[in-house]
Chain A
Amino acid sequence: MMASSYNAKDEDGHITVTGPGGGAVLRSKKPENTAFKQQRLPAWQPILTAGTVLPAFFIIGLLFIPIGIGLFVTSNNIKEFEIDYTGADTSSPCFNCSQNFSWNSTSPCTCTVPFYLEQPYESNVYVYYGLSNFYQNHRRYVKSRDDSQLNGNLKSLREPSKECEPYAYHNNKPIAPCGAIANSMFNDTLELFYNDPNGTSVKILLGTTGIAWWTDKHVKFGNPGGVDSNLSAVFQGTTKPLNWRRPVYELDSDQSNNGFVNEDFIVWMRTAALPTFRKLYRIIGKSSQMVPTLPRGNYTLEVVYNYPVRSFEGRKRMILSTISWMGGKNPFLGIAYITVGSVCFFLGVVLLVIHHKCGNRNNGAEISN
């Protein structure tokens, strides 16, 4: 990429010339003849010229285009299915639930959304819920949490951080977990049913673990009082967040997925970067080699509609997606790589032409001089 010339300048060592007699005076005043002080450190002086940059362009082009194609193909091979169940339209099945929503209602409102998968999903299928126009990255929201409390600190459990205001105390009891993020945790329940062609509806098993970062679950988040403690006892004296239907120690029957280390909770606590986002909800594990995880056919999504979004014109989606080595479906990287690669290649060609012409002209001029 760069033509290099190692230019070791005449570095005449570190010899200080001293006079024969009056050395002391001389030495003190005469500047030392070292390469550094004389600005003569040996230096590599790279020179970028058309000739040296050209191969770089070709190499970039030749590298990027295949990578881009690979990425693009990979992304295209990822199967993704998205369904909006907000219930904003009168025609949509969840319209009633969204219309009649009230925080105080005791009986949950459920709605079922049928959909059809045109392709079988072969490998593991990841179920995401997606929210739109939901500002999880709002500053007031982002900071409204107490990581110390979530880490299992007993003191913070009793005295949540001020950052949690106005979700720190309720009726003079500390809220656990405190803060706006925790309070607004996504609590729709999504269930998938496969409608067999022969008429039976099969509930699909949704794996609840492996959806949160390992380090979050095992280090960053922790229940107060250690792993084996009785959670309901530990959380005695605290109150559940206002909008929650259940206290934190009843999130899951599995002890290792309960309390602060509940993975749904942990996933929610990782605030999204943009107002339209998706979060991993469940994983449908591949059961056997022979049968696709989700075969082609009719499905039903059963929603327990707990989460209101229409007040801020939000949207709720359910996403089914397979995953590749590059993550979820996103054609951006592939396209970008192909574009950059081709531009580089094209520029390389243009440069080659220019360089060839100009180079000749320059040589001629130099000779004529």
Chain B
Amino acid sequence: MLRRRLNRLLGGDERRVDSRTIYVGHRSSSPGEPIIKFCDNRIVSSKYTVWNFLPKNLFEQFRRIANFYFLIIFLVQVIVDTPTSPVTSGLPLFFVITVTAIKQGYEDWLRHKADNEVNKYPVTVLEQGERTRKDSEKIKVGDVVEVEEDETFPCDLILLQSSRDDGTCYVTTASLDGESNHKTHYTVSDTEKDLETLNATIECEQPQPDLYKFVGRMHIYKNDQEPVVRSLGPENLLLKGATLKNTQRIYGVALYTGMETKMALNYQGKSQKRSAVEKSINAFLLVYLCILVSKALVCTILKYVWQSRPGQDEPWYNEKTQRDKETNLYLKMFTDFLSFMVLFNFIIPVSMYVTVEMQKFLGSFFITWDKDFFDPEIKEGALVNTSDLNEELGQVEYVFTDKTGTLTQNNMEFIECCIDGFQYKYRDASSELDGFCVADGPVNKVQEKAGRAKEELFLRALCLCHTVQVKEPTEQGPVDGLMDQVDAGVPHPPQEQRGFIASSPDEVALVKGAMRYGFTFLGLESRNMKILNRNNDVEMYELLHVLTFDPVRRRMSVIVRSNSGDTLLFCKGADSSIFPRVRQEEVERIRMHVERNATEGYRTLCVAYKYLSAEEFAQADAGLMEARLALQNREEKLLAVYNQVETDMSLIGATAVEDRLQEEAAETMEALQGAGIKVWVLTGDKMETAKSTCYACRLFQRSTELLELTVRTLEDGGRKREERLHELLLEYHKKAVQDAPPLKGGITRTWSSETQDYGFIIDGATLSMVLNSSSESNSSRYKSLFLQICQNCTSVLCCRMAPLQKAQIVKMVKNSKGNPITLSIGDGANDVSMILEAHVGIGIKGKEGRQAVRNSDYAIPKLKHLKKLLLAHGHLYYVRIAHLVQYFFYKNLCFILPQFLYQFFCGYSQQPLYDAAYLTMYNICFTSMPILAYSLLEQHICIEVLLDNAALYREIAKNGMLRWRPFLYWTLLGVFHGLLFFFGVRYLFSNPALQDNGQVFGNWSYGTIVFTILVFTVTLKLALDTRHWTWINHFVIWGSLLFYVFFSFFWGGIIWPFLKQQRLYFVFANMLSSVSAWLVIILLILLSLLPEILLVVFRKPRGPNSRQTAAVTPLSYKHLKAGQ
């Protein structure tokens, strides 16, 4: 969002030049003008064609560093005379590439199919007055297209004509943003009924992806008159992909086609988030690359040192070929180096990438499959948009949560209102028409009421000042039926059945609230709002302007003209945005109510009104029109006009709407805090409301000391804000940071009673002061002070936040010291920026549309699901993948180390220790399945315990299993095993007569014995680590060992016609016939696993909660520590 805004600011001037002009129906006013070619209406979401699939796909695959590395190795093997045949690295690479290519090809084929379906869809186009059928892809910009009910729009259209009388049409954008409510779009006023003679041009901005933004201008030419200019906004634009509803037929002119439609522009993928684990992998990879290079270097150097001794380089029994002799010495050194690289290249596991990817892809299914995430209300479960971040869920340190719709249900209920300083509380659904009953009003005016006129004005304001639509009963014919009803004065269907649709549930609550008090909003038709008042009379108001709501202004207004001809402006909004714009004497009476309501956790809105004189209106009208027509900076201009109009109003009253907490919100928050996660609430709501929500969620406890940094506390001292800010920051810093006892591991222990908990509250205005302080030096200082305070508080509440500020905060924490992993959770469009900014973005499938869900990485139906998602799934995923990564490096290290050591015994000649088949199959077949099964199924601690014991989450915090220490441990383990395997067999081979018939074993037997020990040890090591043996684990672990044995028999049992050398012929079987070989295999396997077992037993669990967990799962927990 930030980027988009920036783009607009920077690219502003350019864009104006680049605005496009469209001739409606291709009727150019000045025929000489060249018609600019726009792209056709073909949607191409597919990436490949039959022709370019192979090169393009290969190119893309080899752009991945791992694939490229293996390609290089492969090429080296092909070109240089290397110890292993190109097949050993070519086959796995080929396998990986082919599988990926097939998968991508299939996906692309599906896309082709979908594209064709869209592109060949028949549409009706008006051409020279005739309706012709065309394929959708043939639509050109400027064509007038006809769309019927329930059809989707074939391209972005400007609505010219609707079959509805009021010039509107209804649209759902479910396929675009998931919002299934009907949205009203309007025809451009003054377009002629006869589209054939319509002579008009449209000037509009170049295509841009924002679905909710559009600016344009239409010039209508009528018989040599001065052209009429009409502004075009998003309300005139019908987007491709949306569906026409409740409207028989519309005509529109194609504006953006094909790949330039907003839908197509939105297809472009989001920037990829990378998990911390991936970064760790890359770091480890670098280490192993260094090991690899140094191994190769050492071998190359030693080789030439060794060869310099007489008789070693070329003894009589082993002469070089002619070509070898002629090769330049340095070139030979270089190729030797490459050969060693190839020989040891298996240390960098190819298959790890494949396995990690498979683990992530398959593992994410467990989230979608989890029935605990299924919400019976919306009949949906969790959604995984990216599987790349599974393990990140186990690493979260900061949770940024939205309040409305996330912590609370966003299920608004009108609770009470305050009119002119008197409190009205709605007790129950009393049938009294005069449903008000006055509750405890201001102390001095108990049991009094405001004047009836004021009451009615207030209720009218509630009825008029909104953008709510009335949902029409579908079985009735379109509008006409209802209109007839109303006109005839027939009583309406019972009020409760009346459905309202609005983008904000507050508005619905308010309209419903007004309905209970006798004022019913009947709907809007042809710019007339109809209200049924207490006397069952229908009042009509002409809707002149809607000054739309936005989160920056935090208020909205309507300008209406009553039947009596008065022009009125009704405005409702947050107190902070209303109070400065009304007469001050009225404020005090209301303020008290508002604040009390807010502390009770209600959402409050203030309502004000203003009579507009004719001149005032004319001025406002002109201003608004002009601003709306502007192609550039339209929003800024509009804002200026809005601000100018919404002044000098009089306050009528305030409303209080309750927003209930989500189910188990408090438990979830408590669990998160118990897990050492810091929860920050970022809300646009006001401080008091948000604070009470925080208390209700137990984010703040009674004992929590609140540190407030808000506009109010800043103004307390009566000094300059800046000074006061400075003072407060220092004070809080002293309190929370300097005086606080040193923390262990950087995690606040919220459960311990000794330390004082702090809660921090800051509001948007103060935050921007902190972040954008006047002086540069202060700014960075304040920022770091602020961060330090926040990091030492258990919870932080940021209220009055604009969406961008939310993202700013997330970014600030994300980039702070230690780069903590952040998670944002929200449900509305205003949370999108922070969802995109955080490491992990979670969308809640709430009521405010699907924007958050679309932009999130994971979507869950309810907040309460976050607990299981983090504590159980996240924890398990992290442990699984961390183990997977460490294990992979380990098993390849002890795979290659013997091969490296063997070089010292074979004259540094790059002789491989293992047979090529073993080299190839080791990572693909023999050892890959057990770790994959482990990384999908392991539950080192079972899910119930993880959920009950939030503190377990801390054990893996800060990438605990992938830091350098555990990495070193695994590396040392690999080295130890490698040394043991090699030298154990080396001493056995000091007498190679190992069979009871005196026959001797050769080098391939040597390699096979080492390899057998290796495969068994590595697999059994995993078995030792497996805490959760399902039948799959059993099957896979014992299965792959069995497979190894069978394969070895098979591989050695046949003379393979395609092999140049039958090196392994009966080697394995002969090995098994030797008792000594059996004994050494058993000995070495046991010896290499012994330290592991010892470590497990010797390590005592530490930490305060160790006993508790140790009691539940003694080993798993201890092992976790041991494993590091």
Contact = CB atoms under 8 A, between A and B. Distances in A.
Contact of B990 (A146, A332, A366): A332
17 contacts: A49-B1114, A135-B315, A136-B1003, A137-B911, A137-B1003, A138-B909, A140-B909, A147-B1059, A166-B321, A211-B998, A219-B1066, A243-B316, A273-B992, A321-B998, A326-B994, A332-B987, A336-B987
Interface in B1057-1105: 1059-1062, 1065-1066, 1069-1070, 1074-1076, 1079-1080, 1083, 1086-1087, 1090, 1093-1094, 1096-1097, 1100
A280 B1076 contact: no
A139 B321 CA distance: 13
B1028 to A, nearest CB: 5
B291 to A, nearest CB: 22
A38 interface: yes
Given A219-B1066, A332-B990, 5 more contacts: A180-B319, A273-B1002, A277-B992, A312-B315, A333-B988
Interface in A46-98: 46-50, 53, 56, 60, 64, 67, 71
Interface string B994-1008: 111111111111100
B83 interface: yes
Contacts of A49: 1097, 1114-1115
A333 B1080 contact: yes
Contact of B1075 (A25, A136, A326): A326
A278 B381 contact: no
Interface stretch (A29-37, A113-121, A225-233): A29-37
Nearest to A343: B1090
A326 B912 CA distance: 27
Contacts, number: 268
A274 interface: yes
A270 B1061 contact: no
Contacts of B1094: 347
Contact of A330 (B991, B1032, B1070): B991
Interface in A207-245: 210-213, 215-216, 219-220, 243
B236 interface: no
B294 to A, nearest CB: 21
A139 B906 contact: yes
Contacts of B311: 311-313
A291 interface: no
Contacts of A45: 942, 1027-1029, 1113
A126 interface: yes
Nearest to B324: A140
Given A333-B1076, A340-B1087, A323 B318 contact: no
B312 interface: yes
A39 interface: yes
Nearest to A332: B987
B994 A328 contact: yes
Interface string B312-334: 10011111111000000000000
A200 B714 CA distance: 121
Contact of B1115 (A47, A128, A277, A365): A47
Contacts of A67: 1079
Most chain A CB neighbours (cut-off 10 Å) among B906, B1066, B1113: B906
Most chain A CB neighbours (cut-off 10 Å) among B321, B366, B992, B994: B992
B371 A31 contact: yes
A142 B1076 contact: no
Contacts of A30: 371, 374, 379, 381
A143 B318 contact: no
A18 to B, nearest CB: 12
A68 to B, nearest CB: 9
A31 B993 contact: no
B996 A325 contact: yes
Contacts of B994: 326-328
Interface of A: 7, 9, 25-26, 29-33, 37-39, 41-50, 53, 56, 60, 64, 67, 71, 124, 126, 128, 134-148, 151, 161, 163, 165-167, 180, 183-184, 210-213, 215-216, 219-220, 243, 267, 270-275, 277-280, 283, 308, 311-313, 321, 323-330, 332-333, 336-337, 340, 344, 347, 351, 358, 365-366
Contacts of A167: 319
A210 to B, nearest CB: 7
A275 B1076 contact: no
Contacts of A143: 1061
Nearest to A340: B1087
A272 B1003 contact: yes
Contacts of A313: 311
A169 to B, nearest CB: 12
A336 to B, nearest CB: 6
Contacts of B1060: 146-148, 161, 163
B991 A328 contact: yes
Nearest to A212: B999
B939 A39 contact: yes
Contacts of B909: 135, 137-141
B1021 to A, nearest CB: 13
The 4 closest A-B pairs by CB, nearest first: A184-B317, A328-B993, A273-B1006, A312-B311
A213 B1073 CA distance: 12
Contacts of B1075: 325-327
Nearest to A126: B998
B911 A47 contact: no
Contacts of B90: none
A119 B1004 CA distance: 35
Contacts of A336: 984, 987, 1083
Nearest to B378: A29
A330 B937 CA distance: 45
A219 B1065 CA distance: 9
Contacts of A216: 1065-1066
B1055 interface: yes
A47 B1113 contact: yes
